[in-house]
Amino acid sequence: MSLLSRILGGDGKASARGLALLEEGRFGEAADQLRLVALSPSGTPDDSLASYHFRQALVGEGRRLLRGGEPARAVSWLAEAAGLWPRYADLQFLHGASMLLGDAAPADESLAAARRSLRLNPDYVEARLLEAESLRRLERPREAAAALDALVESGRRVDHWLVAELTPAAPYTPETLPADLGQRLARVTGGSSPKEEVAAAVALCRAGHWVDGLERFEDLVVRFPRYPDYRTRQAAALFQLGRGDEALLAVDAALALNENYRLAQDLRGLVLVDLLRVREAREHFEAVDRSRAAQAAPGDAAAVPLHEQLFGAYVRALVTMLTGDPQRALALLPASPELGREFARADLLRAAAEDLGGQPEACTRRLGHLAEAWPAEPLFQHLMVCRLLHDGRLKEMAQQLGRWPAAVAADARPLYLENLLRLAQGRDPVAPAGSALEVVAPSVVPQGEPAVGSAAWKLLDARAALRRGDATSAWETCQALQAAGWLTEPLVALQTETALALGGGPASGWTPPAVAPLAGLASRVAWLHAEGRGQDAEELAHSVATLHPEIEAGWWLSVRFWLAPIRAWVS
């Protein structure tokens, strides 16, 4: 039994037996066993691994019967899967195809299934084929021809292998409609070569159809349980969908089949980081690297694709920096002067490691190069402006703000930073909080990147109020922020200054709360990770980054900041 089976053994005897049957390819028996534990009392699936494997078993049995030329017998298995998971395009397609190929229902029912699938994924090539054949059998040749033309167009977008057979005759007419669409459909559902299926699944993922791509990889894993590559690709898709615990199980199963599979080794570390198990990730990478060094042969490194080397270096450097060793992180990253153009996030990670490692001038220079190389990327402009503010280079900060990409019109960050600049220059902000809050538009900021939320605007308003001489308003805003759970060194410093300005009144009897200095933030985050408290470490970094989006350290120390942009790259 595989590592995956051993991990899941604690789910109960029924689950363990079902999984063992699934791995043996006895899908029907596995489905009957897993049905006992996969459905809630109301008869619906939940998010458990038992439900996940139950779906695999239903689809596996349906596909087995389709491949064996028994589509009519496949209908009941696929109908159950399609009914339980109506949002899965592959299941709707397979159910419709089994009905059509097995003459188990009128063609209008298979047409309805095809169109349900296409509503979920308009570029689902196989569903277009099912639609075309259903329309042909319903004697609607003009619509069938249009469906084939749509298939060809979708195939061009997702680089589907089936399109090569149908493109030469496009565009189609009722007269040129192929008579062998049913045979093609039987060939598709009967299974193409694994290489073609992998290519189709990868194409779906690259087109953004991650759930459909995952289903393809899951099917390959069921049919070829000894192939670590399929399990690794399955794990990458699960990671992309935010299903980290399942991704870890899948990649562990891949490594159980081939413990030296480099991509799976690196992906495992990435998944651990995503689960905020950063200490475990570093220990994993250190063990892997020791093993690789012991087994290394001349030319091994050159045989590894460059993108895999960069991927491994990036994640290793990240966990090393987060666990308190920025100098070692720098040594792990390529030092190429072209890194900023080839892989900007890795160069940004170098800047962060330089900053946290006591090289602020090097960090500023690197951020300047990135902002110059990527003038249309607000992220690099934001970080460079923040760095200039931190260094007190206000004239240069104003010039850098003038280079903000104009295309991102709804981005609130330049207004926020402009207000910080004006306060640093001793001037009033250009917009009070009341109107500033109206322009907060974090939705235009990519996930994980610095954004300006309501808490940051409120703190800015408190600073502006104190400058105007309205200490009472500033005090009330600071009190409200603390009551909401915010407690940082800059906030307490502002509140203390406000209390002095009030000279009593609402601040009478108040004592500044003890708060850790920002200078020790990196060490505190590293200690929390060392203690295995990754969630606490992330919350600490997040609290600083959210209340003070201009303080780079909050972003440097956030796992989410570094992982959000590389999900698509991993695919």
Neighbours of 245 (CB within 10 A): 11
pLDDT at 213 over 50: yes
The confidence score (pLDDT) of residue 430 equals: 81
Q: What are phi and psi of 542, to 5 degrees?
A: -65, -40
Helices (H), 258-377: 262-274, 278-295, 306-322, 326-332, 339-342, 344-356, 360-373
pLDDT bin (cut points 50, 70, 90) of residue 196 is low
For the segment 461-477, the average pLDDT, to the nearest whole number, is 94
pLDDT bin (cut points 50, 70, 90) of residue 400 is very high
End-to-end, the C-alpha distance of the chain in Å comes to: 29
Q: How many C-alpha atoms does 258 have within 13 Å on its Cβ side?
A: 15
Neighbours of 119 (CB within 10 A): 12
pLDDT at 534 over 60: yes
The confidence score (pLDDT) of residue 376 equals: 87
Q: What are phi and psi of 125, to 5 degrees?
A: -60, -45
**Would you give the DSSP letter of residue 451?**
-
The confidence score (pLDDT) of residue 58 equals: 93
Neighbours of 66 (CB within 10 A): 25
**Summary mean pLDDT of the chain:** 86
Q: What are phi and psi of 39, to 5 degrees?
A: -110, 145
Opening angle at CA 552, ends 548 and 553, nearest 5: 95
Q: 15-43: per-residue pLDDT in tens?
A: 778 777 877 778 899 899 888 888 877 78
Q: Which domains does the chain have, with CATH numbers?
A: 3-214 (1.25.40.10)
The confidence score (pLDDT) of residue 439 equals: 47
Q: Which residue has the higher pLDDT, 193 or 79?
A: 79
pLDDT at 459 over 70: yes
Q: How many C-alpha atoms does 117 have within 13 Å on its Cβ side?
A: 26
The confidence score (pLDDT) of residue 437 equals: 46
Cis peptide before 171 (omega within 30 of 0): yes
The confidence score (pLDDT) of residue 24 equals: 77
95 within 8 A of 134, measured Cβ to Cβ: no
pLDDT bin (cut points 50, 70, 90) of residue 7 is very low
171 within 8 A of 149, measured Cβ to Cβ: yes
Cα–Cα distance for residue pair 453/443, rounded to 1 Å = 10
The confidence score (pLDDT) of residue 436 equals: 46
In percent, how much of the chain has pLDDT > 90? 57
pLDDT bin (cut points 50, 70, 90) of residue 269 is very high
pLDDT at 435 over 70: no
Q: Which residue has the higher pLDDT, 140 or 377?
A: 140
